[in-house]
Amino acid sequence: MKKSFVYFLILLVVIGGLVTYIMTRDKDEEASENGNVVEIVDGEEEEKEEGKVEEEEKEVVENTVGFEEYSANRQEAGEVEEGKMFTLEEITDTSEDGYHEFSFLLTGSILPHAVAYYNPGSGVIKVEISNIEKDLSGIPFQGERIINKNGITRLYHNVSGTQEKSFYDIGLSQSTVFKLDVSAGQSDNEWGVFLRVKYPGEKEISGNFGSTEFSSSDQEIVGVGVEKNASALSYQYSASGGVLKFVWGVSADGEHPIPSVKASYNESNELVVVFQSLKLDRVGGTSKTLSLPLGITLTTSRSGESTTYVFSGMNEEVEYKLSASLSPNQVVLEIK
C-alpha cells in the first residue's frame, strides 16, 4: 500500500513537470514570435521616417539650388587692357529653369572685361562691355529685343557716351539677383560674356504711356509730378530712316514712374514739348541749344517746376509720336 502511494506521488510529480515544461516552452515561443513582429513594424516605420526626411531635404535643395552665387550687387569680370579691341559678334538669349541667360559673343585676342549692375531708377540691369570697336549684334542704338518672360521685359541697346564700350539694359518688372561670367569660347580668340538673371516674376503694369501712332495732333502722357519726385535725368538721340528719336531717361516714385508731359505745335511750326511738373531736370534744367540730326534744333528753358523743349527746323507740322516705356523708364519723342 505504501509503495503504491509512493508510485502515485512520483507519477504526479512527473506529470506536473511535463505540463510546466510544455506551458513554459509555448509562452517563450509566443513571446519570441511577437518580438519579431515588433521589430519588423519598427523597421518599416523607421524606413518611412528616413524616407520622409530625405524627401523633405531634397525638396529644400531643389528650391534653392543654383542661385547661391547670384547677387543684386555690382559685378565685374574679365580684364581691361588698353588697345586690345573686340568685335561683338552676336547676342543670344535663352530661357532656362528659373533664370534667363544672355550671351554676348565676342572675338578678340584676350579675355574681355564686363560690368553688370542694377539701376533702381531705371528698373534695369545695366551691362557694360569694354573695348568694343564693332557691334554686329543687329540691335541698333535705341533699339530693343522684346523678351516678356516672367518679369524680364526687354534687351535695350543704349547709346554709349564713348566709342569704346557697348551698353545694354535688361528691363525688369522688379529687382532680382543675377550672375556675370566671362569665359573662353570653343575656338581661338572667341569669348563669351554671360549674364544669368533670375526671373523676378510678372508684375501688373498700369498707367498712361502716350501715343501708339504718328500724327501732327496734340499729344499727352498723363503721369506724375513733383509729388512723386518726377525727374528727367538723361537724354540720348539718334536718327534712322528719316526719323529723329529723342529719348529722356526719367524716374519717379511709385508704380508708374513716368512724368506728365504734353506736345503740340505753335504758330511757327515748332514742336513744343512741356514737362509740367519736375522736381529735377538734368537735361533742360539750364537753358541750352542743341543741333540734332535731320536739320532739327532743340532749345530748352525752365521756369519753376516746368521745363519747355522746343524742336525747330521743320517747314511744316510733320507727324510725330510721344510715348513712354518702363525698364528702362523713358519718355520718347519720334519726329518724321
Which residue in 66, 64, 105 sits closest to 86, CA to CA? 105
What is the reported pLDDT for 117?
A: 98
Residue bearing cell 514739348: 273
Domains and CATH numbers, the chain: 75-198 (2.60.40.3500), 219-335 (2.60.40.3500)
The pTM of the full predicted model, rounded to 2 decimals, is 0.69
Among residues 191, 64, 73, 67, which one has the least CA distance to residue 125? 73
pLDDT averaged over the chain? 84
Q: pLDDT by residue (tens digit) across 31-77?
A: 333 333 222 223 333 333 334 334 433 333 334 447 899 999 999 99
pLDDT of 23 > 90? The answer is no
Helix (H, G, I), strand (E, B) or coil at 304: coil
CA nearest neighbour of 281 among 330, 230, 220: 230
Instruction: State the cell numbers at 241.
Output: 530712316
What sections of the chain are H helices per DSSP? 2-64
Which pLDDT value is given to residue 83? 83
State yes or no: pLDDT of 79 exceeds 90: no
Segment 157-171 shows an average pLDDT of 84
Instruction: Report the percent of the chain where pLDDT is more than 70.
Output: 79
pLDDT at res. 255: 85
Gap between the Cα atoms of 7 and 140, Å rounded: 122
DSSP line for 229-261:
T-EEEEEEEEEETTEEEEEEEEE-SSS---B-E
Half-sphere exposure of 75 (CA within 13 A, CB side): 22
**Tens of pLDDT, residues 181-230:** 999 988 899 999 999 999 999 887 778 899 999 999 999 999 999 999 99
